[in-house]
Amino acid sequence: MSRRDRFAWAVPLLAGALLAAAIGAGAFALQATLGGPTAAQKLAARAVGRLDAMREARTSLTLDRGRAVPAVCVVVHARDEIQVGRTLRLQIVRAHVRRLSGPAQRPAQLAAIAALSACPRFLANGLNARLRADRATLVGTTRIHGRPDDIFDVSNHSSRPLVQLVMTRKNLVPIEVRFLGHRLTGRGKIIGMSRKTAKKVSLYFLKHKSLIPAATAP
Amino acid sequence: MTADLSALPLRESTRVYRSRATAVARAGRREVVAWWFVSRTLVFACALVVQITRFPRRRWHPSLLHHPFALLGVWDGRWYKLIAAGGYLFVPGRYSNPAFFPLLPILERAAHAIGVPYLLTGVVCANLGFLAGLLALYELGSELLPESDARRAALYAAVFPAGYVFSMAYPEGIAFPLVALAGLFAVRDRSLAAAICAAGATLARPEGIFLVLPLAAIAIRRWPSLATSGRSRAVAAVLAAPAALASFSAYLAWQLGDPLAWSKAERAWGRSFAVTGPDRAVVQLLNASHHHDGWLYRDAVSCLLYVGLLMVAYRAGIPRGWVLAGAGIVLMPLASGSFDSDARFGLLALPVFWGLAVLGRHAPVNAIVLIACPVLLAAATVTIQLRYP
């Protein structure tokens, strides 16, 4: 048996594989006719992933140039719970804000406080909804600590009130939330929170569950 | 009408046989087209009734004038439209579109470029594709079974309860004909065409990858009688489906930087392939009533039915390659940890219909299938809004 005969079986395998590769290349070319995501969309998708990885946020929020009030948002039983100052306590279920305790607020003010508390999941949901609806997500750039930062629109609607999230361009760390309503504007500066503190806060919320009125208890 | 062919000379009798076979095949095709038309009319009529009566969601009221048959574009239809409009985008941990395969969006985008709406393209492609698929199923079945069985299989497929999906903007309507045509071309020794269809089927639905099994079986059986060029084409037919899958991964790597984005995106829907997948699927099924997820039983029952019909097909002499491919299509989703949508996935397992056709040799079974299936098809169409297919 000659050397050529010995390898005769390999020829159709090789040729077949090449033919299949050509078909695969054709399939790739066909897929390339689909549009790709923009750089802004890719960045927003990463931002959603970054926000989803966060379990809590601490902010210093200011409404209409008033004095700064500390706020903490943590995820408790799959809901976002917010403590603003010493008295006001809110809960976000999906996109609805509910006052659990503390002084009564106007609906617009309640929405502003909830947005400025920078609950990571709330912001991520807003950004993700805009991505899925193919609406603009990256609306501008700014410089807060001397470094370039990106401004994302996380609002439900295209009109006011607008909720914007500022994240560092380098590491996509959320640093500020802005609320731009018809008559109300505000700003929530996001302060880093250690894991230990976050756990403490979370435990505090769980321990004081009895503060939640019976009608709204899960 | 019968003829005593033994009285005729050999060439004459062959001609009579051929003309009779052609006439039978023509009648079979006509019947298949008629059943396709009747079943699709039923689905469209039900979709229209749902839209007019706003069942079951009163808030869902798309305009009949601007969005006719909007029901056929719901659920995954929206995801395919999103891909067609803006391409793939992977959002980690969230529902995102790389979980959906690209052939349908490619067609929708191409038609949109000439002004045809996405949804319309999806629905038209699915329905016409299904017609082509039924005819191909009939022809392929005729190569493997008696003509009457092949005809019944195509008729049953036309009215199969889960077959309402073939009228929706879902890729099953285009994957089904491509799967059947890949088999038909391979059986008729047209391997290159089979290769292209296998690649197309895999680009439409991941289940297309299982075409490797029947195509490999056909290639192995024919190998000794093939010339080198024929063997090359047969090898290409076997490798075309994996090549198409690899091309999708390569495309995702190029666009999103992650070749496995499609698999990762599936996780948001609670699907991830693992050895413990079937266990998780059974646990999920056992807890379905606690989670008010009674619809899961529909998929589980379908899965059991498909497995039973595959066994019938195997015993009726359907080649093992096809039966194994069918088993892969029906059972592989369980490895991802859920029975969810298995009724839909199993529609691409062609031996299921051949198995049902073999059972339909008994007149009562035939009557039951032909009466019950359209009723269930109508019920399934009416309840589309209650549960995704």
Q: A19 and B105 in contact by Cβ < 8 A?
A: no
The whole-number pLDDT of residue A204 equals 62
- B85 reaches A (C-beta below 8 A): yes
Burial status of residue A27 (CB atoms within 10 A of its CB: 0-12, 13-18, 19 or more): buried
Q: Where is A3: in which H helix or E strand?
A: helix A3-6
Q: In the structure encoding, which two tokens stand for residue A192, read together?
A: 């880093």
- According to DSSP H, which parts of B316-347 are helical? 320-331, 342-345
Helix/strand/coil for A150: strand
The residue in chain B having the minimum alpha-carbon distance to the alpha carbon of residue A125 is B94
Q: How many residues does chain A have?
A: 218
Tell me the C-alpha to C-alpha distance, in Å, between residue B105 and each of B168, B259, B345. Answer: 14, 19, 19
Cα angle, residue B3 at apex, residues B1 and B8 outer, rounded to 5°: 160
The whole-number pLDDT of residue A197 equals 63
Residue corresponding to tokens 């790739």: A28
Q: Which amino acid is at B9?
A: P
The residue in chain B having the minimum alpha-carbon distance to the alpha carbon of residue A124 is B94
The whole-number pLDDT of residue A7 equals 79
Interface of B with A in 255-274 (CB under 8 A): 255-256
CA distance B79 to chain A (A): 9
Determine the Cα–Cα distance for residues A46 and B12; give it in Å rounded to an integer. Answer: 74
Determine the Cα–Cα distance for residues B164 and B154; give it in Å rounded to an integer. Answer: 15
Nearest Cα residue to A12 out of B226, B228, B212: B228
Nearest Cα residue to A44 out of A121, A164, A111, A127: A127
The whole-number pLDDT of residue B31 equals 97
Residue percentage of chain A with pLDDT more than 90: 50
What's the complex ipTM? 0.93
Q: In the structure encoding, which two tokens stand for residue B83, read together?
A: 């891909």
Across the strands, what pairs with A143? A148
Exposure letters B213-225 (e unless 16+ CB within 10 A, then b):
bbbbbbbeebeee
The whole model's pTM is what? 0.90
Residues of chain A whose beta carbon is less than 8 angstroms from a beta carbon of chain B are 8, 11-13, 15-17, 19-21, 23-28, 30-37, 41-42, 45-46, 48-49, 52, 128, 131-132, 134
CB B204 within 8 A of CB B103: yes
A to B CB pairs, distance under 8 Å: 127
Which pLDDT tens digits describe chain B residue by residue (389 residues)? 444 555 556 666 677 777 888 899 999 999 999 999 999 999 999 999 999 998 888 888 888 888 889 999 999 999 999 999 999 999 988 999 999 999 999 999 999 999 999 999 999 999 999 999 999 999 999 999 999 999 999 999 999 999 999 999 999 999 999 999 999 999 999 999 999 999 999 999 999 999 999 999 999 999 999 999 999 999 999 999 999 999 999 999 999 999 999 999 999 988 888 999 999 999 999 999 888 888 999 999 999 999 999 999 999 999 999 999 999 999 999 999 999 999 999 999 999 999 999 999 999 999 999 999 999 999 999 999 999 99
- DSSP per residue, B206-257: GGGGGGHHHHHHHHHHHGGG--HHHHHHHHHHHHHHHHHHHHHHHHHHHHHS
Q: How far is CA B47 from the centre of its chain?
A: 20
Helix/strand/coil for A92: strand
The whole-number pLDDT of residue A211 equals 36
Residue corresponding to tokens 């503390």: A102
CB B174 within 8 A of CB B204: yes
Which pLDDT tens digits describe chain A residue by residue (218 residues)? 676 677 788 999 999 999 999 999 999 999 999 988 999 999 999 999 999 888 889 999 999 888 899 999 988 777 889 999 888 999 988 778 889 988 888 888 898 999 999 999 999 999 999 998 888 999 999 998 888 999 999 997 767 789 999 999 888 889 999 999 888 899 999 986 666 665 666 666 556 543 333 332 22
Q: In the structure encoding, which two tokens stand for residue B104, read together?
A: 């349908």
The whole-number pLDDT of residue B113 equals 96
The whole-number pLDDT of residue A193 equals 60
Identify which of A12, A17, A35 has the shortest CB distance to residue B228.
A12
The whole-number pLDDT of residue B255 equals 95
